[in-house]
Amino acid sequence: MRDVGAFDALPEDLTDAGGGTDSLVRATADEPERAAEAALRPRRLDEFVGQRVVRDQLSLVLEAALGRGRAPDHVLLSGPPGLGKTTLAMIIAAELGTSLRVTSGPAIQHAGDLAAVLSSLEEGEVLFIDEIHRLARPAEELLYVAMEDFRVDVVVGKGAGASAIPLSLPPFTVVGATTRAGLLPAPLRDRFGFTGHLDFYADDELERVLVRSAGLLDVPLDADAAAEIASRSRGTPRIANRLLRRVRDWAQVRGDGHLHLPAARAALEVYEVDQRGLDRLDRAVLDALCRRFGGGPVGLTTLAVAVGEEPETVETVAEPFLVREGLVGRTPRGRVALAPAWEHLGLEVPLPGGTLFD
Ligand SMILES: Nc1ncnc2c1ncn2[C@@H]1O[C@H](COP(=O)(O)OP(=O)(O)OP(=O)(O)O)[C@@H](O)[C@H]1O
Ligand SMILES: [Mg+2]
């Protein structure tokens, strides 16, 4: 089973990597959802919406390699969940007209597993290593050599009699994906000739993602409904596509099948996703911070007790987006509500130096 990495998120990591709830606005996805996503994945670079810089750079790398008839440099894709790393890896293979071999850091338990994968690669193939920051150290070391010298040392025998037989590999391209580029050891990072960092999408880009997806799902989506869904999608195509599917359900069951603005609003109200893309837990955290603790500072544990959740859930699931949005701040003395949090709850922003609740 795949682990989507919810619980190795550190407090300073703002990748919204939570997976602990079944909320509609978490950026991570489970297996059934990943299957639903497959149908919506862009297949070619020119279908890939947004990320103009990465797209331009990557298209140069790929075109140049195609022109030379050689495998391109290894590519590292980093960025928060749901922004298109896996999609880009598939596109890279498609653009090169080659096949994609898929594995992941956690799937490789021993260096030998990686050696087996590497030695079965064919010339020009793309090897996609998802969650590459989670590779075990011995596998990582084997990978350095393979990436740099296209060689893998196969160990035969055991103990003192063991010897390493170098096996040369045909040229291939590693595409690594990580939500935590900072955790990648420098020697591994240095083996990538190109690093693309994916950032959150602007609302108009998400609208284009939605229009494209609605076309593929064959559902009529109005422009203002697309804008409404986009603005609640936290800059993340995965969330946009997920909300689209839920709005489609609503339109089919309670509406007339048409995805217009009232349908989008009604559906998102049912699913408790508000105008800023906050869900119930997010709002509960804001509410506790502002109403119960006068805006803070309040410690994480106290805050978690107030909303009836584990501290870890509050910290890794709710907080990253609240911090990213400038609703909540972290201080050495605890969490504080920032002015937009009060405004979002329809409360008066307290004057600096005191609180309304003194
Ligand atoms: N630029 C884009 N244009 C259109 N659709 C996109 C784009 N980026 C992502 N998507 C859609 O969003 C969904 C999630 O993308 P993807 O699986 O590539 O994310 P990821 O970065 O690999 O996430 P994770 O870190 O969880 O593995 C896919 O269904 C894909 O179709
Ligand atoms: Mg992925």
Quick check: CB of 237 below 6 Å from ligand 1? yes
Q: Note the pLDDT of residue 353.
A: 57
For the chain, the domains span 41-197, 203-270, 280-344
CB atoms within 10 A of CB 40: 19
Quick check: CB of 16 below 6 Å from ligand 1? no
Report, as an integer, the average pLDDT of 178-187.
91
CB atoms within 10 A of CB 310: 13
When the pLDDT of each residue in the chain is averaged and rounded to a whole number, the result is 89
Per DSSP, 1 falls in state -
Binding-site residues for ATP: 40-41, 82, 85-87, 148-150, 191, 201, 238
Span 13-57, pLDDT tens digits = 334 444 445 788 888 888 888 888 888 999 999 999 999 999 999
Q: Interior CA angle at 265 toward 262 and 271, to 5°?
A: 140
Ligand in closest contact with the CA of 80: 1
Quick check: CB of 209 below 6 Å from ligand 1? yes
Among 87, 201, 212, name the best residue to mutate to test ligand 1's pocket (greatest count of ligand atoms within 8 A of Cβ).
87
Span 208-257, pLDDT tens digits = 999 999 999 999 999 999 999 999 999 999 999 999 999 999 999 999 99
Residue 111 CA to ligand 2 center (angstroms) comes to 22
CA-CA distance, 204 to 166, in Å (whole number)?
52
CATH of 280-344, one of 3.40.50.80, 3.40.50.2300, 1.10.10.10, 1.10.8.60: 1.10.10.10
**Enclosing H/E stretch for 194:** strand 194-197
Does domain 41-197 correspond to CATH entry 1.10.10.10? no
Residue 83 CA to ligand 2 center (angstroms) comes to 8
Quick check: CB of 146 below 6 Å from ligand 1? no
* 139 backbone dihedrals φ, ψ, rounded to 5°: -65, -40
Binding-site residues for DNA: 330, 335
The three-state secondary structure class of 11 is: coil
Residue 246 CA to ligand 2 center (angstroms) comes to 22
Atom of ligand 1 nearest to the CA of 89: 18
Instruction: Return the bridge partners of 177, or none.
Output: 77
Ligand in closest contact with the CA of 37: 1
pLDDT tier, 297 (very low <50, low <70, confident <90, very high otherwise):
very high
Ligand in closest contact with the CA of 90: 1
What percent of the chain stands above pLDDT 70?
92
Q: Note the pLDDT of residue 21.
A: 53
Class for domain 203-270, per CATH? mainly alpha
